[in-house]
Chains A and B, each alone.
Chain A
Amino acid sequence: MKFEAVIGLEVHVQLDTNSKMFTRVPCGFGHPPNSLTDAVILGLPGALPVMNREAIEKSIKVGLLLDCKIASTCKWDRKNYFYPDMPKNYQITQFDQPICEGGEVEIELPGDSPAVMGKHRMVKLTRIHLEEDVGKLTHFENDSLVDYNRAGSPLLEIVSEPDLYSPEEAFSFLTSLRNSLIYAGISSCDMEKGQLRCDANVSIRPVGTETLGTKVELKNLNTISGVKNGVEYEIKRQIKAIEEKEEIVQETRRWNPDQRYTIPMRSKEMAHDYRYFPEPDLMPVKIDQEWIDQIAKEIPEKPFEKQRRYMEEMNLPYSITSALCPDFQLCQYFEQVTALTQDPRKAGNWVVNDLLRELSHSNEESTPTPIEDSPLTPEHLAALIQLIEKGTVSNNVAKELFPEMFSSGKSALELVKEKGLEAQSDQGEIESICAQAIESDPDAAQKFKGGKEGAINALKGFVMKATRGQANPQVVDETLRQLLAQ
């Protein structure tokens, strides 16, 4: 029997806000343990929560970005459970009235080759709700330590419908969602800092059937590839179990990324009656159309919309756009260069082929230097492209100059002067070399004058050889024609 997988994802995103969800303490990563706390975070007697407006606005923004229905009121509930990751022993969250409902995420499936665009599809969302993050526990043999720095940070939970059918789709979903969130300035989505976390619900069913199989919840999928690998393993495990006539148990399993398998979590960690009830310390907040309209003005163009625009309006090849569009800042850079040069194609090629190479080589860490830190400014790159256009420098010279422009932050002109390369473009110098060429090959000159167009190439070859390929071919062509016409 052939099986297909049905996957739903629950994505937790930490919002980039100045302060925590319900108090003034700042959010942050890498601070000394328990330094980002106060009476509210520590759940001291008498402490009360106060909503963070920025977090609510960012949640509405996500809703607009993903075409969700925005709730007319933002209402809060308490989720009660005893666990030391939350000093109050309840989490303030949204139970029956999430801030956003429905919505969809556009995904792209892998194409036949990296140069070919894959199929696009919309993946349905169930809901998005806002809550406070919990603290971080570290377990030792006899003790556990708690750090409440993360506790109370605004956390958005984005829940998809069971509308993904392969590990690759799950991977694409998460990548696309992440790109959109970074685009809109919602979150830095740094998975290493826990700013983006993902759980997956996985079930399988015989191909052609509609009923959903028993679902298994996967936890600890801490990287985007972890999601892909964990889901892939779990699908294989379930298929094998069914083929061996075992029953799939509805349970929560933990992905072990080092040894690459999933194991059931202890039932104590999952069986809960959370006793949800409306949070009496917070009043529901009305979300009116005016507020939504205000936030809608800040919604950026989505990554895939941008990609389509680049391909259609700027006539860029897919391979260039697929390198540009996942990175919002890179697109900004590219658009600045394009605006200055009016040549998107050249701008795209230089950014994707040359600039990306320098960025990835320039950092000793495994991650490339972010484009924001590029020493080479969009103005300098645009100027370089224009110098080639004008013939001041040849393409070869430009390619040679580029790494140094990047590392030094100097403009092309500065470097041309420093290196004495400008001579090669000097009109007088070229004229005299052209004259030498005609003198040394009168035969070719005669043939050209006699109407044999191709004969000029021999003369050009002489000039290029004499200038070691660094003379501007267009200038050489024009100069030779002028001299031969005399």
Chain B
Amino acid sequence: MSNTSIIEKTAVELSKSLISKELSATEIAQAYLDQIDRVDHQVHAFLHRDDEDFISQAKASDARRAEGKTLGPLDGIPVGIKDVISVKGQPLTAASKILKDYISPYDATVITKLKEAGAVIGGRLNLDEFAMGSSTENSAYGPTRNPWDFDRVPGGSSGGSSAAVAAREAPLTLGSDTGGSIRQPASLCGVVGVKPTYGMVSRYGLAAFASSLDQIGPLSQTVEDAALLLEIISGHDPLDSTSYPIKVPNYTSALETSLEPCTLGLPKEFFGDGMDDEVRKAIEQTIEFYKGLGHKIVEVSLPTTDLAVPVYYVIATAEASSNLARYDGIRYTSRSAASTNAIDVYAKSRGEGFGEEVKRRCILGTYGLSSGYYDAYYLKAQKTRTLIREDFSRVFKKVDVILTPTSPTPAFKFGEKSNDPISMYLSDIYNISTNLAGLPALSVPCGFTKGGLPIGMQLIGQAFEESSLLSIAHAYDREHRYGCKAPSI
């Protein structure tokens, strides 16, 4: 089989080829390595590769299969990892200079689960430094380019994870989503991205940005693939106190059961100004599609929508200012050569090691927690967060899922927003409130602009209702499979 026909396959198709012995895991791994060799000098999705380790994992998978000891549908399937999730023995830079020499001594729980499922753990994928950004322009190691247009950003922060799937450098990747960081880049790169319910996937081993918002989730060509990967990485973890003790449903089989008619809500606040006309048109078409399947569409209201961005930037930065305090130049982070005393070690190591956006957020967060400002900022933001949650609860009494665009615009050009933090922050405006409410949400490709840029729709579900969320998304994706269309690179 040609490399092209291997890497065009979805994870589910690859899995079938492995079962039928049409392909070996080693052949699959090699095909992806060849593709990375071919395109990544332009895409720059990868910050680090360990080809030897990659191939040896694939060989081990083939050996298991030969002995009839296969570990499941993911055995032998490559999974790329955002460079913010610990893999034992591999670097973890978080796309920051401050962690340039750090090697993880342990596996994140999601990695342990992937290894137990036989997945072939791939390279380290680019991101905005410490997952702070919406374009990967904040990576200390250079941005990732959008495979659909190299002059445009892939979105972020999981830009490497979304571009790698779009450029067929990996069939599946893991990203992390704190305020849209899986869904927005998935949308901009034309792939599927899922942010699970807060507590559904263990955060153990994920370098924290904002602890109360971060979730790890899958990116893939199809909803079906995302369901397969999500099922493996979900579940209660005794090492993460915020992970929820719930039995993981069988998502893949849930996709096969026929969908009962349901109600989709359109929040009117999301459909106001600032939405690109082509995005609006694509969303209108998806609405028509769902109507055609017999589902009910209703307008709903989330009055606190415009508070989400300010609330998010108070809470997320406050948590980040504390979470990132450990990168101090003392033990495992790079120490400034210019430091001459203890205070210097902190100030200069962090000053030299962190990029502009990370510094901006650490300063913002420190300010919001400072005595005299805490009540006006952090406390008020937390109270408002409760109102945002209540808004969603109210709406979910009437609807099964909420449908919105994932991003107000398709992929934007490099430099277009990088000098204007506020306009960059607004590119996640449709995503942020779901993190604040802890709800599951996903982005599914729903068409292209005339210029050939992907457009994504977002579906937001009720807490721990990933099953129905995926089923409703699958109903659309099965018929359209926009994520299976590859850019010509």
Contact = CB atoms under 8 A, between A and B. Distances in A.
A84 B342 CA distance: 9
A48 B240 contact: yes
B283 to A, nearest CB: 33
B242 interface: yes
Contacts of B318: 277
B325 interface: yes
B11 interface: no
A275 B326 contact: no
A131 to B, nearest CB: 16
Interface of A is mostly: loop
B241 A50 contact: yes
B94 A45 contact: yes
A267 to B, nearest CB: 14
Interface of B: 84-86, 92, 94, 99, 102, 104-106, 108, 203-208, 210-212, 238-242, 318-319, 321-322, 325-326, 328, 330-332, 342, 346, 366, 369-371, 374, 378
12 contacts: A39-B105, A39-B106, A44-B105, A45-B84, A48-B204, A48-B241, A51-B241, A80-B325, A87-B331, A275-B322, A277-B374, A281-B242
Contacts of B371: 273, 275
A394 to B, nearest CB: 66
A60 to B, nearest CB: 19
A218 to B, nearest CB: 25
A46 B108 CA distance: 8
A401 interface: no
A43 B99 CA distance: 14
A84 B332 CA distance: 12
A90 to B, nearest CB: 5
A280 B86 CA distance: 20
B326 A88 contact: yes
A88 B242 CA distance: 19
A44 B332 contact: yes
Nearest to B328: A89
B212 to A, nearest CB: 4
Contacts of B208: 45-46, 281
Nearest to B238: A50
A82 interface: yes
Nearest 6 pairs of A and B residues by beta carbon: A89-B325, A45-B207, A280-B211, A275-B369, A280-B212, A46-B205
B456 to A, nearest CB: 28
B239 A50 contact: yes
Given A46-B85, A46-B204, A46-B207, 10 more contacts: A44-B106, A44-B332, A45-B84, A78-B322, A80-B325, A88-B325, A275-B369, A275-B370, A277-B378, A283-B242
> In this complex, which of A44, A46, A88, A144 has the most chain B Cβ atoms within 10 angstroms of its Cβ?
A46
Contact of B328 (A39, A80, A82, A273): A82
A80 B208 CA distance: 16
A317 interface: no
Contacts of A144: 342
A280 B241 contact: no
B241 A282 contact: yes
Contact of B86 (A45, A87, A89): A45
Given A82-B328, A275-B371, A46 B105 contact: no
A50 B237 CA distance: 10
A45 B105 contact: no
B326 A277 contact: no
B369 A283 contact: no
A39 B106 CA distance: 8
A42 interface: yes
Nearest to B130: A45
B241 A281 contact: yes
A49 interface: yes
Interface string A62-102: 00000000000000001010101001111000000000000
B240 A82 contact: no
B335 to A, nearest CB: 12
B345 to A, nearest CB: 9
Contact of A277 (B99, B102, B322, B332): B322
Interface string A437-459: 00000000000000000000000
B241 A273 contact: no
Contacts of B331: 42, 87
A354 B331 CA distance: 56
A281 B243 CA distance: 10
Contact of A90 (B106, B238, B322): B322
A280 B240 CA distance: 11
Nearest to A88: B326
Contacts of B325: 80, 82, 88-90
> In this complex, which of A44, A84, A273 has the most chain B Cβ atoms within 10 angstroms of its Cβ?
A44
A144 B318 CA distance: 30
Interface in A47-65: 47-51
> In this complex, which of A82, A87, A275 has the most chain B Cβ atoms within 10 angstroms of its Cβ?
A275
A277 B242 contact: no
A276 B210 CA distance: 16
B92 A45 contact: yes
Contacts of B205: 46-47
A55 to B, nearest CB: 14
Contacts of A275: 321-322, 366, 369-371, 374
Nearest to A272: B371
Contacts of A44: 86, 104-106, 332
Contacts of A90: 322, 325
B331 to A, nearest CB: 6
B462 to A, nearest CB: 20
B206 A46 contact: yes
Nearest to A282: B241
> In this complex, which of B211, B212, B326, B330 has the most chain A Cβ atoms within 10 angstroms of its Cβ?
B326
> In this complex, which of A45, A46, A273, A283 has the most chain B Cβ atoms within 10 angstroms of its Cβ?
A45
Contacts of B92: 45-46
Contacts of B84: 45
A273 B370 contact: yes
Nearest to A278: B382
A46 B211 CA distance: 10
Contacts of A47: 204-205
A317 to B, nearest CB: 54
A365 B191 CA distance: 73
Interface in A400-441: none
A50 B204 CA distance: 11
B410 to A, nearest CB: 33
A16 B103 CA distance: 34
A273 B104 CA distance: 32
Interface in A1-58: 39, 42-51
A273 B370 CA distance: 7
B326 A87 contact: yes
A252 B164 CA distance: 57
A43 B102 CA distance: 13
B315 to A, nearest CB: 9
Contact of A45 (B99, B210, B240): B99
B330 A87 contact: yes
Contacts of A50: 238-241
B134 to A, nearest CB: 22
A92 to B, nearest CB: 11
Contacts of B212: 280
Contacts of B240: 48, 50
Contacts of B366: 275
Nearest to A43: B326
A276 B321 CA distance: 12
Contacts of B378: 277
Contacts of B328: 82, 89
A353 B395 CA distance: 79
A80 B322 contact: yes
Nearest to A79: B322
Contacts of B210: 280
Contacts of A277: 318-319, 322, 369, 374, 378
A137 to B, nearest CB: 10
A80 B239 CA distance: 23
Contacts of A273: 370-371
